[in-house]
Structure 1
Amino acid sequence: MSSSSLQILVVDDEPAIRQILAASLARAGHPVEVAASGREALMRLAKGDVEVALCDINMPDLTGIEVVREARANGVDTTFIMMTAFSSVDTAIEAMKAGAIDYMIKPLRSEELVQRLKQVADLRGLKGENEALRKLVGGRRQDHCPAVSQAMKTLDRLVAKVAPTDSTVLITGESGTGKGVTARAIHQASQRANEPFIPVNCGAIPENLLESEFFGHTKGAFTGADRARKGLFLEADRGTIFLDEIGELPLELQVKLLHVLEAREIRPLGSEQVRKINVRIVAATNRDLREMVGAGRFREDLFFRLSGFHVTVPPLRERREDIPALIRYLLARGSERFGVAGTLAIEPDAEEILIAYDWPGNVRELENVLQRATILAEDGRITVADLPPHITPATPAGASPEAPRPGTGTLREQVRDYEHGLILRAIEDCGGDRRAAAQRLGIGLSSLYRKLEEQEQARAAAGSGAAPA
């Protein structure tokens, strides 16, 4: 394999397109695999060795953009180039926000595709060199912000204690708390840090494919097995396999996983040969495994094997003192991702709202809110107006936002208040999208901003005792 060749996955629900692209890429010297759906693509991407995915945007099960988002959420570092038959600026922007680097219009021209892949190979090579240099100069980068709360400091101490060992670790906590980040931190601080870290979402793999995905198969082991596959446990050999959503594992596979934990060996489907493996297992779940054991839905012996060392990631509402540091960390990361010059500041009243909110989606929800605010923010500052309506304090039941009081103030003041209420309702109805709200109201975006600013000025004047303009 040449230094410029790339492991490529072609994802498209049309067989003819998959066949044409695979043949063209193979002639150009690239190893190629294909996937006929978004779900199939995610299973293949979970192995972590696909360097570039050419992914159709419009597919029946998952859209290409949903594939990119889920892959990024699972820690997959694949470079995505999207394919679409319809040129759309909005679609392109959405794809880039999800994590794709480019998109191409069908039908793809072979020369243009080869040139794009050459650029990707150069970029990936440079990225690898830079990462190696960073490790040489400054050690490994920890992808989390420093703990402030006692609960997170305790978690960090537990991670530091267990990481150098080979103990199996069970991580529990609500969805979005950062169980995957904790698992990766354990791997990065372990003796296996330079070996593979393979994240697997047990709930995302169809039950009939789980054994093959976990343990691999021989060619011809079942219908459609046209080539041998190593399986995720062999991919993780000498490294760490992270079994996320372990509570979704069916009972039949729980038995086989227990055997792997006890014997440290696997047998691929269709093979009589047993393979010894050296893999550390870190598992995570947001479910109560003890309750599942009592209900007969999770094996007690497997539960005790997995929970040899048990850590819990606390929900965000129980560690509010971490929120300010998290906000600054996520804003810095988001500014870099969206190409914002410098790190955005956040107004104190907006930060107070974020600290007071209960965050049912935890850190993941906070990150999504800040990403949205990063896009909406102007003049380098996030204000309350940039936060989604469900985050900001609710208005009284049955009342409209900023509803005017009939019969108070001058006619001009009442008209302005009524107009302001209409604008706020339109923004809320449009999910915080001010451009869409302006279109709904039949005014320009600049007019909408001007009217909001005039209302703020009127409020400020009223608060200071001056007569409003």
Structure 2
Amino acid sequence: MSSLQVLVIDDEPAIRQVLAAYLGRAGYVVDQAASGTEALERLAKGDVDVALCDIRMPDMTGIEVVRRAREQGLDTQFLMMTAYASVSTAIEAMRAGAYDYMIKPLRNEDVLHRLGQIADVLRLRAENRALRSLVVGEAGDRCRMESPPMRQLERMVAKVAPTDSTVLITGESGTGKGVIAKEIHRLSRRAEQPFIPVNCGAIPETLIESELFGHTKGAFTGADRAKKGLFLEADRGTIFLDEVGELPLPMQVKLLHVLEEKKVRPVGSETARPVDVRIIAATNRDLAAMVAEGTFREDLYFRLNVFQIQVPPLREHREDVPRLVEHFLRRHGHGESWRLDPEAEAMLMAHDWPGNVRELENVIQRALILAEDGVITVADLPAQFARPSTPRAQGARTLREQVREFEAGVILRAIEEAGGDRREAARRLGIGLSTLYRKLEEYERAGYAS
């Protein structure tokens, strides 16, 4: 079903009504106008995508309607209809801004073909606008992680992506929920269509309905032209509602109606427009608890929570830190070769990462600014990574000795958490088993407890 809004303009009632009825049955949202004046009044709302306009009408020509629409800044596409075709008429219509013209009597299949062509053009324009504001990561810009929690997450993404199921992604801030949403879209049947992200917490409450569903010209103070809305921009593609838990209750009701009816009604419009869009939502809040508190609608929660993906915090898959570090060094290293020295890597592995992957990326970006000679050292890391020591200890031991003690603590704690299984501890730390044994021998010689 198409979401195009079509206006049929013709002073002959029989032609106008038959064509409008046929297009309505074909799935288009159709309005009618019996004159040029009536058409301009309807077009002024700014939400008409295509106008099928007769060239000869009593009050003004169809070409004059096109000219006035263009003068008003309207971007409606015009298909002109005439029983008096001539080369000069066609040229004049095109110069005025018409998309094309058709000869009466019209053949239904020809009309549908032309509307399909216009829909393709409008879709490409929408995708180009979306691409200018968002670049969805290419395959080479993704980091594949090997920890069991992330491999399980990857399997869930692969299962749900080819379906049209609504997905709810949950997890702490900075865990990469937006990356997961893009990956679902990339692997879906909608991959060639728009991916439109929306930060629900960043849009003022007074504007969020207009941003999501669009508005007509004059719908409210400051609406000097029509706005399509992000749901219609995402038609046939995916809309990603990030921080969906921040939506105010009145907006939750309207979102629920869109999910149930698969139609959106722009602010100021009396017509609901069908929309074919997959919804992926994300939140770092406990929506079930919010439902119990009465701050999130239970019916909307069930609509969104068809398939839930929980993204683990980085502290629960520390073994992926080295791969993430390599990924960010490639992304932000400006083509140069960079590496971490062992002491710096040990400190990154031991950190709890309350800001998760986003915090790690910020740390690497900062370190790249400070580092020299292609090596990131402890000195290039933020202050919170240097465990404070007593003045006596600082004077008694070198930096390397202090870092080795810190590293020993990390490794011994990993062995303890793995229940004494050194192979499992090595896997979690992202190092080889032989490396683990070698380091344990070093710690024993140095007198560290094991």
Normalised-by-shorter TM-score class:
0.5 to 0.7
For 2:255 and 2:389, locate their aligned partners in 1 and report how far apart those are by CA, in whole Å: 52
Match of 1:161 among 159, 162, 169: 159
CA contact (8 A) 2:127 2:193 kept: no
Partner of residue 379, structure 2: 385
Question: 2:337 matched to 1:346?
Answer: no
Listed as ranges, the matches of 1:85-164 within 5 Å are: 141=139, 143-164=141-162
Tell me by how many angstroms 1:142 deviates.
5.4
Distance 1:47 1:300, change over 3 A: farther
Distance 2:270 2:148 in 1: 51
- SS in structure 2 at match of 1:261: helix
Q: CA deviation at 1:77?
A: 4.6
Q: Which residue of 1 aligns with 2:285?
A: 287
TM-aligned CA deviation for residue 148 of structure 1:
1.1
Q: 2:228 aligns with which of 204, 212, 230?
A: 230
Secondary structure of the residue aligned to 1:49 is helix
Contact 1:47 1:198 in 2 (8 A): no
- 1:182 corresponds to which residue? 180
SS at match of 1:253: helix
Structure-to-structure mapping, 1:13-412, within 5 angstroms: 49=129, 76-77=134-135, 141=139, 143-335=141-333, 339=334, 341-396=335-390, 404=395
| 1:349 CA drift (Å) | 1.0
**Separation in structure 1 between the aligned mates of residue 253 and residue 131 of structure 2, nearest angstrom:** 34
1:226-266 per-position Cα deviation (integer Å, ceiling 9, x unaligned): 00000000010010000000000000010111111111000
Give identity over the alignment, percent: 62
Residue aligning to 2:433: none
The 8 Å contact of residues 320 and 355 in structure 1, kept in 2 or not, is answered as yes
SS, match of residue 311 in structure 1: strand
CA distance in structure 2 between the partners assigned to 1:202 and 1:380 by the alignment: 40
The structural deviation recorded for 1:395 is 3.0
Q: Are the counterparts in 2 of residues 143 and 181 from structure 1 also a CA contact under 8 Å? A: no
Moved over 4 A (4+): 402-405
Distance across 2 between alignment mates of 1:306 and 1:142: 31
State the Cα distance separating 1:283 from its structure 2 match.
0.3
Number of aligned residues: 276
Normalising to structure 1: TM-score of the pair? 0.56
Match of 1:135 in 2: none
- Classify 1:159/1:77 alpha carbon distance in 2 versus 1 (closer, same or farther; 3 Å): closer
Q: Secondary structure at the match of 1:165?
A: coil
Cα displacement (A) at 1:144: 2.0
Highest RCO, 1 vs 2 (Cα 8 Å, sep ≥ 6): 2
Sort the Cα spacing of 1:48 and 1:243 in 2 relative to 1 into closer, same or farther, 3 A: farther
| Structure 1 counterpart of 2:260, one-letter code | E
Per the normalisation by structure 2, the TM-score is 0.58
Cα separation, partners in 2 of 1:243 and 1:142, compared to 1, 3 Å: farther
Give deviations 1:371-416, integer Å, cap 9, x for gaps.
01111111111111111111222335xx59x8658xx9xxxx9xxx
Q: Which amino acid aligns with 2:383?
A: P
Aligned Cα root-mean-square deviation (Å): 2.7
